[in-house]
């Protein structure tokens, strides 16, 4: 299972109608998250472990720990390691999985439409 605890959320004055979230997400070994999208922009960085990241629709920008920036277009499965970061937009349908024996920890900042869920499931 995954454990997503919101550390903080606020309604930023410079983004009316939006809500800004900061989360720390832990994904346990052998866990696959549901296919989903975010109603806004989300930036995530892998703090610990290796995340298997599957894109179903859309494109994503990845900044590797080395500073190299790569763009991937669905359908594609990539590996995100400690220090890698990803920028997700509303048109990206995706899911993550922890295919390892260790926990994966991700820090997430999301700017979403006010009242939107943190993730919107997509039927598979």
The per-residue pLDDT for 2 is 58
| Mean pLDDT of the residues in the chain | 94
Work out the percent of the chain whose per-residue pLDDT is above 70.
95
> Which domains does the chain possess?
2-115 (2.60.120.10)
The per-residue pLDDT for 8 is 87
Instruction: Out of 6-10, 38-42, 69-73, 113-117, pick the least confident.
Output: 6-10
Q: How far is CA 34 from CA 47, 67, 111, 117, 122, in A?
A: 21, 29, 20, 14, 8
Residue 1 has pLDDT above 60, yes or no: no
- Enter the pTM of the model: 0.89
Residues 6+ apart with CB under 8 A from 14: none
Angle at 37 between CA 34 and CA 40, to 5 degrees: 150
Q: Nearest Cα to 53, choosing from 22, 84, 76, 82?
A: 76
Per the CB < 8 A criterion, the answer to whether 93 and 114 are in contact is: no
For the stretch 15-44, pLDDT in tens is 999 999 999 999 999 999 999 999 999 999
- Greater confidence (116 vs 1) lies with 116
Per the CB < 8 A criterion, the answer to whether 90 and 41 are in contact is: yes
For the stretch 56-65, pLDDT in tens is 999 999 999 9
For the stretch 75-92, pLDDT in tens is 999 999 999 999 999 999
């Amino acid at each position: 299972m995954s454990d997503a605890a919101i550390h903080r959320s606020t309604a930023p004055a410079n983004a009316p109608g939006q809500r800004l979230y900061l989360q720390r997400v832990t994904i346990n070994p052998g866990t696959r998250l549901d296919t989903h999208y975010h109603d806004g922009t989300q930036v995530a960085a892998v703090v610990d472990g290796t995340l298997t990241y599957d894109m179903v629709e859309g494109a994503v920008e990845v900044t590797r720990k080395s500073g190299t920036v790569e763009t991937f277009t669905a359908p594609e499965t990539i590996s995100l390691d400690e220090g890698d970061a990803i920028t997700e937009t509303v048109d990206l349908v995706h899911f993550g999985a922890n295919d390892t024996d260790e926990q994966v920890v991700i820090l997430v900042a999301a700017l979403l439409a006010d009242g939107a869920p943190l993730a919107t499931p997509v039927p598979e």
